[in-house]
Structure 1
Amino acid sequence: MTEREPARGPEQRKQDVFDRLEKDEDVWVATASPDGLPCLVPLSFVWDRGTLLLATRRTNPTAVNVSPSGKMRLTLGHTRDVVLIEGTAEVVEGTDLPAESGDAFAAKLHWDVRGRRAWVYLRITPYTVKAWREVNELAGRDLMLDGTWLV
């Protein structure tokens, strides 16, 4: 039998989410095409101005699938330490990206696509954030709803 850690309180979970957003380099990104074909890929990101900033080729399904509603789902972590984020995506051309955002992306990931026409940035603004490790944390997993932090 596996012994589980005690459930974290909401403040600790929120802090753990922010730690992951600052330190992790990759996030799983889920989108769907207009005809419902799912796409799940890992992309590098930086936490910037309360949003996740990612980069991908403009012709990749992830960028193409950004619909007018912009809905996107992202996850950090493995199955025993999940951060699930639902957000609204906006496609941003490298020439339109604020210099501070591009500099933050390049500094964290050692990669700069601002001058590459084949690439675009995706800025995801979270509206739902959930975090849990085990079944004992499922009841309190909602940390953000409708764009407002609950904690």
Structure 2
Amino acid sequence: MTEREPARGPEQRKQDVLDHLENDDDAWVATASADGVPCLVPLSFVWDRGTLLLATRRTNPTAVNLTPSGQARVTLGHTRDVVLIEGTAEVVEGAELPAESGDAFTTKLHWDPRGRPAWVYLRITPDTVKAWREENELTGRELMTEGNWLI
């Protein structure tokens, strides 16, 4: 039988989420078309001004899907350490991105899409954040609702 770690307290879960947001490079981003067709892609991100900042080609389904609804789901971590973020996304043109945000993206991810017309940034503002490792952390997994940390 596998020994499980004890459940983390809410403060530790929040800190672990913030560590993922600060240190992870990639996330799974889920959107849906206006017809409800799902799209799931990995994208690199930087945690910037309390939002996830990502970049993709403007014609890719992820960017196109965000235009009508603005809703996205993002996951970080692996299946035994999940961070699930639901949020509102906006498409930001490279020329409209604050220089500090573009510089943070470039510094962390080692590429700069700002001067590439085919690319746009996606800024996802978290509305809800949930985090859990195993079944023993399902209770209390909600750490943010309506954009406000509960801890």
Displacement after TM superposition at 1:68 (Å): 3.4
> Match for 1:127: what amino acid?
D
Task: State the alpha-carbon separation in 2 of the partners of residues 92 and 125 from structure 1.
Answer: 13
Displacement after TM superposition at 1:143 (Å): 0.2
1:100-145 CA distances to partner (integer Å, 9 max, x unpaired)? 0000000000010000000000000000000000000000100001
Residue number in structure 1 paired with 2:39: 39
Q: Percent identity?
A: 83
Residue number in structure 2 paired with 1:126: 126
Count how many residue pairs are aligned between Structure 1 and Structure 2.
151
**What are the equivalent positions in structure 2 for 1:60-79 lying under 5 Å apart?**
60-79=60-79
Displacement after TM superposition at 1:69 (Å): 3.1
Confirm or deny: 8 A CA contact 2:67 2:90 kept in the other structure: no
1:78-108 CA distances to partner (integer Å, 9 max, x unpaired)? 1100000000000000000000000000000
TM-score (norm 1): 0.99
TM-score (norm 2): 0.99
Unaligned runs of at least 5 residues, structure 1: none
1:55-96 CA distances to partner (integer Å, 9 max, x unpaired)? 000000000000333110000011100000000000000000
Residue number in structure 1 paired with 2:6: 6
Unaligned runs of at least 5 residues, structure 2: none
Secondary structure, aligned partner of 2:18: helix
Secondary structure, aligned partner of 1:130: strand
Residue number in structure 2 paired with 1:82: 82
Displacement after TM superposition at 1:36 (Å): 1.0
